Structure 1
Amino acid sequence: MNKQHAKIAAALLAAMLAGQVSAHGIWTAERRGNIEVIYGDGAEDNAYDPKKISGAWASDQQGKNVPVTIEKLDDHARLKPQKSPAALSVALDNGYWTQAPDKQWVNVGETQVPDALDSGRYYKYTLAVLEEGAKLPPLDELKLVIVPNRTR
């Protein structure tokens, strides 16, 4: 591929990903002494149906499983690992979202919105490495994850 083709390919890739940049994400944060699963966009936290959390996994420094309970509250989920984890991951099945002709997004499938403009099923994943040097367990439950590179 010559330089011109590479520039065109990079521009097309950037254009394809631009719409996803503003998408909501999930992450974990300690709030009031609890590990909370946060759903939002940028610094904004949003309420969500905690039933959408499809799984949570914790591990110790050696990468061994630490049992974790998902407490489903009114507007979010709280994680309760049996002991302090070295790594923590969460999966959220956000369901089907469809863009209606008025450009508003609704949390239903495309067949329920006449003249839909766009539609998809969206999943959110997060991985938090809480202790330096933690060995990560297999992350098969996470369909897409960025794993930190070990330089040591």
Structure 2
Amino acid sequence: MKITGKLALVASLTAGMGAAGLAHAHGIWFAERSNQLALIYGLGADDLDMIKRQPKVKSVTAYDEHGKALPTQLTASGPLLVVNTDSQPAIVAGVLDNGLWSKTADGKWYNKGKDEIPNATISMHTFKYAVHLLKPLHGPLPILPGQKLQIVPVGSQLPDHMGQPLTVRVLLNGKPVPGAELQPDLVNDPDSEPLKTGADGTVTIKVRNQGLNVLVAKYDSPPAEPAKSSSDEHEATLSFVLPHLPE
């Protein structure tokens, strides 16, 4: 595929994304907690307070095997934010606007833009996206509303066992992102060396876990508010569970 126009811009921007930047970014994903599906904010083994971050959650949606929207809602339950799955969805998705963040030379982060932190060495507006697959689909995973950055499996079938190959495509506004960086396991190996997508936005990984898998990709775009941030950071996860043997 020849890279021209907007894709060339995407390639040049993603080429500058460092492994450390991706490896140390917190993300959101869905996981089972006490037989409930919860929306998690964290990195590696860190499972941080989602209740105080609830105002930052812009949407949680659910879909059936064909991609048809289903009713759902996000509810506080003790220390968790749990998803109502009474409609038996095949897909759930979420969006969190994490706001402006600036870092100073002493390594401290502030929840403010560079207009308020003039000595910031890094300043960004961060957005988090998550898609979780609960059961097999009747066709490829669709491009979902609100998921500006999305990881999509190529084909409709996921592997059955850990170690098997899985090809995914990273999309920005529904278009393939060449040179995007992707890690196969945000939860158990968050510091791994990222893989890069090819010209068609795809990359092939080996499924890491016979259980919960959380893939993560990141893309930095030009800022919507240049006076407040130097870039807009988009981070997307795709999560699914491979079942264990019967007890």
Normalising by structure 1, report the TM-score: 0.81
Q: CA deviation at 1:72?
A: 4.2
Report the Cα distance in structure 2 between the residues aligned to 1:106 and 1:137, rounded to whole angstroms. Answer: 36
2:23 aligned partner: 21
Aligned pair 1:100/2:104, yes or no? yes
Q: CA deviation at 1:17?
A: 2.8
- 1:54-86 per-position Cα deviation (integer Å, ceiling 9, x unaligned): 101101122211111122467552211341210
Q: CA deviation at 1:119?
A: 0.5
Report the Cα distance in structure 1 between the residues aligned to 2:156 and 2:86, rounded to whole angstroms. Answer: 30
Report the Cα distance in structure 2 between the residues aligned to 1:63 and 1:91, rounded to whole angstroms. Answer: 17
Report the Cα distance in structure 1 between the residues aligned to 2:77 and 2:68, rounded to whole angstroms. Answer: 28
In structure 1, list runs of 5 or more residues that go unmatched: 1-8
- 1:109-151 per-position Cα deviation (integer Å, ceiling 9, x unaligned): 2222241111010001111111112454541310000111116
1:50–1:76 CA contact under 8 A, matched in 2:
no
1:25–1:39 CA contact under 8 A, matched in 2:
yes
SS in structure 2 at match of 1:147: strand
Instruction: Report 1:1-152 matches (<5 A).
Output: 13=15, 16-18=17-19, 19-48=21-50, 49-72=53-76, 76-135=80-139, 136-150=141-155
Alpha-carbon RMSD across the aligned residues, in angstroms, is 2.4
1:50–1:73 CA contact under 8 A, matched in 2:
no
Q: Which amino acid aligns with 1:77?
A: L
Q: Which amino acid aligns with 1:44?
A: D
SS in structure 2 at match of 1:146: strand
Query: Percent identity between the aligned chains?
Result: 35
Report the Cα distance in structure 1 between the residues aligned to 2:121 and 2:128, rounded to whole angstroms. Answer: 22
Report the Cα distance in structure 2 between the residues aligned to 1:73 and 1:101, rounded to whole angstroms. Answer: 39
Q: CA deviation at 1:21?
A: 2.1
1:60–1:134 CA contact under 8 A, matched in 2:
no
Q: Out of 87-96 and 62-71, give the one that drifted further.
A: 62-71
Q: Which has the higher helix share?
A: 1
- 1:87-127 per-position Cα deviation (integer Å, ceiling 9, x unaligned): 11111100001102321112122222241111010001111
1:99–1:117 CA contact under 8 A, matched in 2:
yes
2:63–2:90 CA contact under 8 A, matched in 1:
yes
Q: Which amino acid aligns with 2:72?
A: V
Normalising by structure 2, report the TM-score: 0.52
Deviation beyond 6 Å, 4+ runs, structure 1? none
SS in structure 1 at match of 2:55: helix
